[in-house]
Amino acid sequence: MGRSGNCVYSDTSLTQPSDPMVIKPGGSHQLSCKASGFSMSNHWMSWVRETSDGRLQWLCRIISGSTYYADAFKGRFTISTDYSNSMLHLQ
């Protein structure tokens, strides 16, 4: 990340596979997201979902191993990171 005058610019990105998936009730799957251009260990990383009416709903977040979950999702998901590979996971 660099600074130019009063502007901040950055070449950061988060990449998530876009393949559709169907999970049966009781089934499990891991979602992953790869970060580039910044260190995840220095930032809150969150998962959100888009509801059927188009709103964004926060699920959980992690920083330095400390995790926080929305009440409605506690015990249903596990958020984790693999800092060596710049990966964020939700299972």
Between 17-21, 32-36, 59-63, the lowest mean confidence (pLDDT) is in 17-21
Sequence-ordered list of residues with C-beta below 8 angstroms from that of 46, at least 6 positions apart, any chain: 58, 59, 60, 61, 62
d(CA 32, CA 81): 9
The domains of the chain are located at 10-15+27-90
What percentage of the chain has pLDDT greater than the value 90?
Answer: 44
Report the pLDDT averaged over residues 32-61: 91
Say what the pLDDT of residue 10 is.
61
pLDDT of residue 3: 43
The domain defined by 10-15+27-90 folds into Immunoglobulin-like (2.60.40)
Contact between 61 and 44 under an 8 Å Cβ cutoff? The reply is yes
pTM score: 0.76
The two beta strands, 79-82 and 87-90, are antiparallel
